[in-house]
Chains A and B, each alone.
Chain A
Amino acid sequence: MCRANQPAFHFLEAGFFLCNFLIELTMKQIVNKHPLAIRWFHWINFPVLGVMVWSGLLIYWANDVYKVGFGDKTLIKFFPQSFYDVFHIPFRLAEGMAYHFVFMWLFFLNGLLYVLYTIFSGEWKYLVPDKRSWKDAWLVFLHDLHIIKNKPSQGKYNAAQRITYTAIIVMGIGSILTGLGIYKPVQLGWLTAVFGGYKMSRIIHFALTIGYILFFLIHVIQVIFAGWNNFRAMVTGFEVVKIKEQPIVVEPASMPVDDQINSEEDIPQNDRDSIVIPEPE
């Protein structure tokens, strides 16, 4: 663990840089963040969910009746006529259904394996909200909007991420169950009934899709703001954490003690596999 090693480094490095009074001493640390399996589940889900949403739209467009409003007033119609005029939406119901009922297996299996993996690997501990998450998520939200300065301390995921990434799994389960209820409303009639009947199951199934679209947009924006180090972690698995030390004014008796860890993310709790290599040589 890096923190445990620090005093030894101070001692050696301080000696090494005896003459370089004002050189900033940095240590790069590679911290494993996302296990390989989770990276695969994530990147497989991306095109698969894309095809599910696309084919779902082809199905929906065969009978596009949903709108949001109150009383006689319509706020949003899915979709406005202008949308059809621009995109020349063709009638491709059969094609949409075929792709939907092929890719549902990939969506289901990938999601199932992901959930099983997080359970058996213990990753769920970083993903599931805990008692603090509900309060902290609000602080993260205010922090992201630059309303407050400090965000609450966190592990691999912040409180808002924990809630969101768990919610998206619950939504996925909801999509599969409502989907099954729509697919086999007679043979699995009990399931259709659980979600309020055939029409309500379809509405929930559709609303969850809108949820995925919103999640996707926010997710991409957040990833852009979080920066390269965070994005790279979802591909390579590791994050690079820089440990900066204060410029050293060498007085053998006084070692710097107020180190601060400086990175986009704090060191994750599960840095058990981290390698620590000091530099410069």
Chain B
Amino acid sequence: MANFVTNLFRRNEKLTVDEFIVKKTITSFFFLLVFFAACIWAWKWVRRQPSQNGSRADVHAPLRTVLNTNEIIFSKIFSSNHLTKTYPASAAVKQVRPNGSIGMRNNLDTAAWKMYVIRANGDTLALDLDDIKKLPKTDVTFNFKCIEGWSQITHWAGVRFSDFMKFYGLNAEASMKYLGLTTPDKEYYVGIDMPSAMHPQTILCYELNGRPLPLREGYPLRLIIPVKYGIKHLKRIGTMYFANNRPPDYWAERGYDYYSGL
């Protein structure tokens, strides 16, 4: 037996078939076990890493790094010419599924509502709904996609975001990297890369199915941005601002992809 074991350390050519089989089987299974152990170790290592912002609600930093890398890779195929498939308005559902009321739980004085637009130089524009409505109206009927996985064909109308930027002379702002939006109570907030915001189907929306937005759908004004998941379609816009660094984003802080681009 001892002889058999020491023989295993000899060169393969000097082994009998049986010795060769034993030696190769032991070494191969050893490497397989090492591989599985390395997998488990790597898995545990990832799950030990804190998140980038230190919050327990966020994903582990290595995962976030890959998500951000995915953004760099996949934003290369982004084009304003790639339009969301649109449908006739008649294809839109009548019962729109609302999801999420964060940022809309406080009472809103609708008569006093204004959207505050903080310009790059620090000036603030205060606009009411009529200031928005006097711009050309556009509508889009598309398959609204919730990040949870469901989708619905819905019909929205308002002002194209790029038209709005042009009309109010926000050219310097449009050349910045990010658009930030918050609800009036600052409870909900999103950050959106400027190319997606300037996409021709992105609208500041005040109508759903030809009627003013219901309160639960973000009256008086919300964002509709078909190149993003629903989490970025902020309802009840309070403040709009611009930045070259990423504005805080409610769901990105809770583990979701910041880009969330479709």
Please pick, from B28, B74, B78, B226, the residue contacting A237 in the complex, using a CB distance under 8 A: B28
Q: List residues of B (143-176) whose CB comes within 8 Å of A's CBs.
A: 143, 145-151
List the one stretch of A108-116, A181-189, A250-258 in contact with chain B: A181-189
A93 and B78 contact, CB distance less than 8 A = no
For residue A237, which residues in chain B have a CB less than 8 angstroms away from its CB?
Answer: 24, 28
List the one stretch of A13-21, A59-67, A122-130 in contact with chain B: A59-67
B24 and A187 contact, CB distance less than 8 A = no
A97 and B66 contact, CB distance less than 8 A = no
Query: Interface residue tally of chain B, by bracket?
Result: 35 or more
Q: Is A107 close to B, CB under 8 A?
A: no
Q: How far is the CA of A186 from the CA of B262 in the complex (A)?
A: 5
Q: List residues of A (156-195) whose CB comes within 8 Å of B's CBs.
A: 183-189, 193
Q: Is A218 close to B, CB under 8 A?
A: no
Q: Is B106 close to A, CB under 8 A?
A: no
How near does chain B come to A194, taking the closest CB pair, in angstroms?
13
Q: Which residue of B lies closest to A228 (CB)?
A: B25
Q: List residues of A (252-281) whose CB comes within 8 Å of B's CBs.
A: 277, 279, 281
Q: Which residue of A lies closest to B74 (CB)?
A: A184
List the one stretch of B14-22, B185-193, B212-220, B236-244 in contact with chain A: B14-22
A98 and B255 contact, CB distance less than 8 A = yes
A63 and B150 contact, CB distance less than 8 A = yes
For residue B251, which residues in chain A have a CB less than 8 angstroms away from its CB?
Answer: 94
How near does chain A come to B232, taking the closest CB pair, in angstroms?
13
Q: Is B93 close to A, CB under 8 A?
A: no
Count of chain A residues with a beta carbon within 8 Å of a chain B beta carbon: 40
For residue A102, which residues in chain B have a CB less than 8 angstroms away from its CB?
Answer: 62-63, 66-67
Most chain A Cβ neighbours within 10 Å, of B17, B29, B39, B150: B17
Q: How far is the CA of A169 from the CA of B145 in the complex (A)?
A: 30
B79 and A187 contact, CB distance less than 8 A = yes
B16 and A98 contact, CB distance less than 8 A = no
Q: Is B254 close to A, CB under 8 A?
A: yes
For residue B255, which residues in chain A have a CB less than 8 angstroms away from its CB?
Answer: 94-95, 98
Q: Is B227 close to A, CB under 8 A?
A: yes
Q: Is B59 close to A, CB under 8 A?
A: yes
Q: Is A134 close to B, CB under 8 A?
A: no
Question: What are 6 A-B pairs at a CB distance below 8 A?
Answer: A95-B255, A98-B255, A101-B66, A186-B83, A186-B227, A279-B17
A residues neighboring B (CB under 8 Å): 28-30, 43, 47, 59-60, 62-63, 65, 93-95, 97-99, 101-102, 105, 183-189, 193, 197-199, 202, 232, 235-238, 240, 277, 279, 281
| For the complex of A and B, 4 pairs with smallest distance between CB atoms | A94-B255, A63-B149, A236-B28, A62-B148
Knowing that A29-B17, A101-B66 are A-B contacts, what are 10 other residue pairs whose CB atoms are under 8 Å apart, sorted by A's residue number? A62-B148, A65-B150, A105-B66, A186-B227, A187-B74, A199-B151, A235-B28, A236-B24, A277-B16, A277-B20
